[in-house]
Amino acid sequence: MSEQIMTVKDVASYLKLNERTVYRMATAAKIPAFKVGTSWRFKKEEIDTWIAQQHNQISSNKES
């Protein structure tokens, strides 16, 4: 099982966001993240799950 760990820069590129936005989201617990020392890290699998949840939430709101 190879679990990919991503940095802020990786996640920003993956989600096509500014790095500062990723920092803000991580600090506010709006995106799944954890700290190693002073650096934020992200599990790719958790980011992918989070993306799917966001997509499902938006789809549910459109149906209402």
Q: In the chain, what are the domain boundaries?
A: 5-63
Beta strands, E only, the chain? 5-6, 34-36, 39-43
The hierarchical CATH code for the domain 5-63 is 1.10.1660
Residue that the structure tokens 């500014």 belong to: 18
Q: What does pTM read for this prediction?
A: 0.84
- pLDDT of amino acid 3: 80
Q: Amino acid letter at 34?
A: F
Dihedral in degrees, nearest 10, Cα atoms 48, 25, 11, 41: -90
Q: What is the pLDDT of residues 8-49, one digit of tens each?
A: 999 999 999 999 999 999 999 999 999 999 999 999 999 999
